[in-house]
Amino acid sequence: MALGTNELEEFSKNYSELRDKDKEIFSRLINKLLSKTFIVCSLKEDYNDYYDCLRLFQTIDLYFNFIDYDLFKDEMLKIIYIKTSKDRNRVHLNKLDTILCLIFRLTYFKKIKEVDLTNEVYISISEIFDELNKTQIYATPKTLSEIERSLLCLRRNKIVDFNSKISSESEIKILPTVQVVINVANMDDLNSQIKGYANDSEGEESNEDPDENQID
């Protein structure tokens, strides 16, 4: 949505009143959101940026409106993100990435009511393999290396987080952003999506076109 004259004047006024330090913060936050889509308070590298973004939210929101992006904040999940109706800023996932996302969303549904006040949801590597096998999507079981490649992709997209090299003992933190990437109303809808993949014939992973989950 293009800004009108009043909005442009409001943005110019807000921006001109920022201190030099805040102008630097503003620019960094804009670039971070454009490159990463999400700012997640529970991530160490995003913690300060999350609160800076809340503080400068009105000015950042006006800027993104000007370039046809929408800025969202969810203070319950403590995430801030952008989306656009145009073919930009999409999460590009291959088949395995997408299936893991669906599994993580399902796990988040199941575990979020059981976690402590931190609201942090974790899944083990053994649970990932168990859930993947339950889908009956792949005739040949996926290897740990294949799972690791997908997890690295999902970490880059701020859907999961982990600190060390993936091993059979690893615990993967499922970030609340999975609720935005996989925007479904209930577990039945999720199971239907997973079954849809199970009904498809398996192709070679390397030959698959990437699936695109647009931020909704």
* Torsion angle (degrees, nearest 10) of CA 87, 91, 93, 98: -120
pLDDT for 215 equals 40
Q: What pairs with residue 160 in β-bridges?
A: 174
Task: Give the residue extent of every domain in the chain.
Answer: 5-83, 91-213
What is the per-residue pLDDT across 112-157, written as a single tens digit (0 to 9) for each?
Answer: 888 766 779 999 999 999 999 999 999 899 999 999 999 999 999 9
Closest CA to 23 of 35, 15, 14: 15
Looking at per-residue pLDDT, the higher value among 214 and 48 belongs to 48
Q: How confident is the model at residue 203 (pLDDT cuts 50, 70, 90)?
A: very low
CB 103 within 8 A of CB 128: yes
In this predicted structure, the answer to whether residue 90 has a pLDDT above a threshold of 70 is no
Q: How confident is the model at residue 213 (pLDDT cuts 50, 70, 90)?
A: very low
Maximum distance among all alpha carbons in the chain? 61
Long-range CB contacts for residues 4-12, cutoff 8 Å, separation at least 24: 7/62, 7/65, 7/66, 8/66, 10/62, 11/59, 11/62, 11/63, 11/66
**Can you tell me the distance from the alpha carbon of 196 to that of 204, in angstroms, rounded to the nearest whole number?**
17
Span 91-213 CATH architecture: Orthogonal Bundle (1.10)
The model carries a pTM of 0.86
CB 159 within 8 A of CB 176: no
